[in-house]
Structure 1
Amino acid sequence: MTTQTTAADTPNPQQNHTPTGLIPIPEGPARALATGGGILTIISTFMAWTWTSAFPGDLTVYGYPGGLQVLVLIAGILTTLLSLASYGIKGIRTLTPGGADAALKYASLAAFATTWYTIISISYQLGGLANLDPGGWVAAIATLASFTGALALPFERPHTYAVDTEDTGSEQFKHRARNALTIFKGAFAAEAPPTPRKLPDYVEILVIIAALAVGLIVFTYGIGTEYDELFIGFLVTVAFSFAALSKAGLVAQVSTYTARHRNITLAGAFAAAAAFPFTQSDDQYATIGVYILIFATVALGLNIVVGLAGLLDLGYVAFLGVGAYAASMVSGSPSSPFDVHLPFWGAILVGASASLIFGVLIGAPTLRLRGDYLAIVTLGFGEIFRLVAMNSDGTSGPDITNGSNGISSIPNLKILGFDFGLEHTIFGVTIGRFANYFFLMLLITFVVVLVFRRSENSRIGRAWVAIREDETAALAMGINGFRVKLIAFALGATLAGLAGTVQAHVTYTVTPEQYQFANTVPPNSAFLLAAVVLGGMGTISGPLVGAALLYLIPSKLSFLGDYQLFAFGLALVLLMRFRPEGLIPNRRRQLEFHEADLAPGDTPPPTVLSKTGA
């Protein structure tokens, strides 16, 4: 039996692999154009972009960047530094261990996209390009020149495929489009994998502290954006700037340092998070912060089930609801059918224990299923919980949950005389109600992280990974698959119940509508699963970052109205297309998704070896 090979499946023998750019400009002028454009971009941010302050941010001031100009200034500085590094200047070149040219393309794209978005917004809102001042025109030309110069930088073109002239027009178009996409992706690929540099321990710790400080500043700035145009510009700038730093090798460098100093990184991350309420002048954004922590803690619990054990749970939010309902019923609410008012430690034990019991009861009969069948059963459990809570109103069923009205008027927590519902002054800063709960939730998140970390590195954690990778092989090696999966299910449910206890007191009211499979307000099962996959399955920081993004972005995109979920879903599709392993993946999953990009000396993980037939 012979296999017919078409021209479209054969590398083009006449292809010229001499490094060239996407735009036919010599390398020297291209680098000069990118550098000059970056410098001119910086200068333009100190000029007025429009004559009226009607556009938010007040871009009418000379000598003082405001609003979106600040984002363009940051992107311009990054573009200039990377363009200087591309010349091989000693000292600056060390900032780009993975190469400067690909990083320069992303940095210039960040400046270009943010600038032109600002100009288009000014023209749309104010009624035409006539509302632009010289600074706006200078910024538009400078960013276009910088991006053009970056695209003209030479790169090693990947193999393309010859187009068969006997194919139909649609087939020829498909092959030409595939070749164009391959070349375009090659233009933005890093020149070489970064080589981590070993520095003195104190220097690496200082780098970690600096990275955490930058992360706190970026998060604080993003959560405090005052108008829609600024938040969209913030997303564009951060996305492309992060890609630039990643291609430059700095992200991998910092990741190497954090892996060497995990305890210091963990302590520093929680210290940076604890500093967040002190950066706020009121309780407005602390509200978002505490909900992000609740969402992130539940996502981390789901990460045990999905990321470590490989069990697809589509009804996980029900365990959050079980914990919230159980805690609210024993916290002194007048809507509770039980006349009980336990202290905080009692309520949190009741909430966590109730979720644990439900986890065992649901997991025991269902965990003998695998894959899609398990997912369907867990989805059914999530809906059953919501419907039971809805109908337990004394009319359609027993009077337990007060039906659709839920358990309301849940009193604030008090721990050792500290009332979380009152304002307190700490270090001269007034901390409001939501900031109090933020600190409590941060402590609970810290406990959950410790539990996840200890579980991951334990014998049971290695058994979970074995089950996830190949359950049949794990069973053949003597692992009790049912018991191991049940432990993961029960532990994940307990952690969700722990977060649900605090959620009940933060929201004052617990209703069935809060625990659906999918709605526009997280947390829900769909968003929780997306947070784990988006952030990076099997890691600690991945679901925390993913949950923060998935909660913050929809809350800031509310101005899109009916198109909010469309824009959000489109962003997720693009992210999963270009970074399927997640934002912060573990090394195994990264190698699985990028087997073709393995560096010399890298060994594929066992799952990759099995795919290649080795």
Structure 2
Amino acid sequence: MTNTATGATERTPVIPLPPTAARAATAIGAVATAASTFLAWTWTTDFPGDLTVTGYPGGLQVLTLVAALLALLYTVASYRIRGLRWLLPTGSDNAVALLAIGAFATTWYTLIAITTELGGIVNLEPGGYVAGAASLVLLLGALGLPLDRHTKEHTADRPALALALRISFAKRPLKAPKALSAGAEILIVIAAYAVALGVFTYGIDTSYAELFAGFLITTGFGVTALGQAGVLSRLSAIAAHQRPIAVAAAFAAAAAFPFTQSDDQYATIGVNILVFATVALGLNIVVGLAGLLDLGYVAFLGVGAYAAALVSGSASSRFHTIHFPFWAAALTGAAAAMVFGVLIGAPTLRLRGDYLAIVTLGFGEIFRIAVQNMDGTTGPNLTGGPNGIHDIPDLKMFGFDFGAAHDIGGITLGRFANYYLLMLLFTVIVVTVFSRASNSRIGRAWIAIREDETAALAMGINGFRLKLLAFALGAGLAGLAGTVQAHVTFTVVPEQYQFAGPVPPNSAFLLAAVVLGGMGTISGPLLGASLLYLIPAKFQFLQNYQLLGFGIALVLLMRFRPEGLIASRRQQLEYHDDIPTDSGPVATVTGKDVAGLTQAGA
């Protein structure tokens, strides 16, 4: 209301909901929401997932059930019950609120989808109304909890619900953990990667778009809730302490994926994700470490693919009489891409910023147009022109035919599962190279150049030579991935290597994967590439609006999480003024401080 004497606007005080009542409402809402999934939500099987059965959940109801049970579990854990305290290392109720929002969003997304696709609200059964009301109770109860928020306002006398849409969640510092034995830490690491494998397998095996959308909603809020609870930070610390075991467990979980599939339908998506992710990780050296904006990076993937195709023994190859063994073809593709990286980088890397981006964009388009015209008519007969090089034979190494199905332990691995395991080996190589490079003296020099090239040059760093090295190394890694891609797809054509196109990988999507996942990290581009490949693959009906959707997603990301989904500590300090440390105090560091420390370390 307005003070008539001063003309100032005064806020009406709001009486907050008692925490005990809020927790009780949250628990009741979670139980009711979980129970509603055992009721029929619609009367017809026209909606995918069969939500017409009373007695057990199906389709999207399973996701609602999982989200509601997790919200209930964390509500109980918020009472600090012995045996459940490890679920809330931070002791914050933010995790409960996020899980409640996730359950509400998944439930109402399902109800809205049923109403929209079937033609009206009349298609909802009573169970659907119960689910909507129960999830609303869950949401209101959770938002009434005393939550930690980023705000400069005094909120001690204001309930969470009054500020829910205006103030973002803040994260409490972790409390000192209890010491665990080495055996317990190893079991936790193995269990964490097993759960991650299960979640990834469920997501990639979703058979219709509605279920995948619900999976994204539930998983997104669930992972964010674990971050607010401090579970992810605690797991990260344990993994760092047991680094060899964590690396082995990650590789084992990734290698186990083909054994969870009954056919090659989703193994195809898996191998393409690895190709996309490996190329994105190579681009991360150029963009994330050295700070060079390369908009034509997909051309290096094409150079490697064409080089491998030319020496593959394909009948459509200009050199069809030459058939290199795969290890030689892989080295040829990587070397060819690296040479092109040096040839392009030498005259262009003296440019900076927008000028460098424009030149690399031009190189990418020149490469695509050049290979399209090398058909023997408008240019030399080398690449097959628009038809490309096709009928590339499957790989055979040490008597193992990658194109044939193989039985291992009673499980049949098809063609794409074989190539998935091969590409996984290449991904491990690229991850190793990136890790070694980023932690080396050269890697610190790249970071110094990225932060402030002028200051780095003043410190004695040879900027041009190191930028050229980053360009060549990134190009070589992309070419290495291209050699596998050529054999996986059977054919190499110019349309595969555009700046922006309907099907990844292309330069725009590769750059988006690095920015979305988190520049300068290893797991960031892997996660970003997985999301950017899975979303178009699952949402085929949005094919004409992919660039619009990703543009909106990147705008929102830059607004709310500019450091990416998985950010390095340096970027967190650069983009956020107040970062809580594990010991409790708040560290206030500016971007200039980070740049200065980086240059001094380099």
Paired residue for 1:360?
A: 342
Q: Deviations over 1:107-159 (max 9, x none)?
A: 11111111111112222333433333332222111100010111222346733
Q: Does structure 2 conserve the Cα–Cα contact (< 8 Å) formed by 1:55 and 1:126?
A: yes
Find the aligned partners of 1:545 and 1:191 in 2 and give their Cα distance.
22
Secondary structure of the corresponding residue to residue 578 of structure 2: helix
Residue 268 (1) aligns with residue 260 (2): no
Paired residue for 2:312?
A: 331
* Match among 511, 516, 541 for residue 559 of structure 1: 541
Secondary structure of the corresponding residue to residue 583 of structure 1: coil
Paired residue for 1:516?
A: 498
Residue 376 (1) aligns with residue 358 (2): yes
Residue 468 (1) aligns with residue 450 (2): yes
Residue 494 (1) aligns with residue 476 (2): yes
- 1:182 Cα deviation after fit: 11
Cα 1:227–1:196 shift into 2, 3 Å: farther
* Match among 535, 538, 542 for residue 520 of structure 2: 538
Cα 1:186–1:255 shift into 2, 3 Å: farther
Find the aligned partners of 1:380 and 1:181 in 2 and give their Cα distance.
51
After superposition, residues 127-146 of structure 1 pair within 5 angstroms as: 127-146=119-138
Paired residue for 2:436?
A: 454
Find the aligned partners of 1:129 and 1:603 in 2 and give their Cα distance.
52
- 1:299 Cα deviation after fit: 0.6
Q: Does structure 2 conserve the Cα–Cα contact (< 8 Å) formed by 1:102 and 1:187?
A: no
Paired residue for 2:157?
A: none
Find the aligned partners of 1:29 and 1:611 in 2 and give their Cα distance.
48
- 1:314 Cα deviation after fit: 0.9
Cα 1:382–1:605 shift into 2, 3 Å: farther
* Match among 390, 398, 402 for residue 420 of structure 1: 402
Question: Gaps (5+ residues) in structure 2?
Answer: 1-7, 155-159, 598-602
- Paired residue type of 2:222: S
Secondary structure of the corresponding residue to residue 275 of structure 1: helix
Indicate the RMSD between aligned Cα atoms, in angstroms: 2.4
Paired residue for 2:386?
A: 404
Q: Deviations over 1:61-113 (max 9, x none)?
A: 23321101110011001111122223333332331122342211111111111
* Match among 145, 153, 165 for residue 153 of structure 1: 145
Paired residue for 1:3?
A: none
Mean Cα deviation higher: 510-519 or 449-458: 449-458
- Paired residue type of 2:401: D
- 1:25 Cα deviation after fit: 3.6
Mean Cα deviation higher: 111-120 or 99-108: 99-108
Find the aligned partners of 1:612 and 1:310 in 2 and give their Cα distance.
16
* Match among 566, 578, 583 for residue 560 of structure 2: 578
Residue 46 (1) aligns with residue 38 (2): yes
Paired residue for 2:508?
A: 526
Find the aligned partners of 1:112 and 1:279 in 2 and give their Cα distance.
30
Paired residue for 1:226?
A: 207
- Paired residue type of 1:159: K
Cα 1:356–1:592 shift into 2, 3 Å: same
Secondary structure of the corresponding residue to residue 61 of structure 1: coil
* Match among 230, 236, 244 for residue 249 of structure 1: 230
Find the aligned partners of 1:438 and 1:45 in 2 and give their Cα distance.
36
* Match among 45, 48, 54 for residue 56 of structure 1: 48
Find the aligned partners of 2:75 and 2:252 in 1 and give their Cα distance.
35
Cα 1:377–1:191 shift into 2, 3 Å: closer
Find the aligned partners of 2:22 and 2:586 in 1 and give their Cα distance.
34
Question: Gaps (5+ residues) in structure 1?
Answer: 1-11, 162-179
Find the aligned partners of 2:203 and 2:445 in 1 and give their Cα distance.
40
- 1:565 Cα deviation after fit: 3.3
- Paired residue type of 2:565: L
Secondary structure of the corresponding residue to residue 90 of structure 2: coil
- 1:58 Cα deviation after fit: 1.4
Find the aligned partners of 2:495 and 2:455 in 1 and give their Cα distance.
41
- 1:276 Cα deviation after fit: 0.5
Paired residue for 1:92?
A: 84
- 1:510 Cα deviation after fit: 0.5
TM-score (norm 1): 0.90
- Paired residue type of 1:137: Y
Q: Percent identity?
A: 64
Secondary structure of the corresponding residue to residue 422 of structure 1: coil
Secondary structure of the corresponding residue to residue 425 of structure 1: strand
- Paired residue type of 1:279: T
Paired residue for 2:191?
A: 210
Find the aligned partners of 2:596 and 2:164 in 1 and give their Cα distance.
27
Paired residue for 1:592?
A: 574
Paired residue for 2:591?
A: 607
Q: Does structure 1 conserve the Cα–Cα contact (< 8 Å) formed by 2:101 and 2:139?
A: yes
Q: Deviations over 1:190-240 (max 9, x none)?
A: 462223624323222222222211111111111111112111111111111
Q: Does structure 1 conserve the Cα–Cα contact (< 8 Å) formed by 2:37 and 2:64?
A: yes
Cα 1:112–1:336 shift into 2, 3 Å: same
Q: Does structure 1 conserve the Cα–Cα contact (< 8 Å) formed by 2:92 and 2:172?
A: no
Paired residue for 1:189?
A: 169
Find the aligned partners of 2:248 and 2:434 in 1 and give their Cα distance.
15
Find the aligned partners of 1:583 and 1:119 in 2 and give their Cα distance.
29
- Paired residue type of 2:172: A
Find the aligned partners of 1:536 and 1:124 in 2 and give their Cα distance.
36
- 1:420 Cα deviation after fit: 0.8
- Paired residue type of 1:192: R
Secondary structure of the corresponding residue to residue 266 of structure 2: helix
Residue 75 (1) aligns with residue 56 (2): no
Q: Does structure 2 conserve the Cα–Cα contact (< 8 Å) formed by 1:300 and 1:544?
A: yes
Q: Deviations over 1:15-47 (max 9, x none)?
A: 79x9x78xx544332221111000111111122
Mean Cα deviation higher: 242-251 or 270-279: 242-251
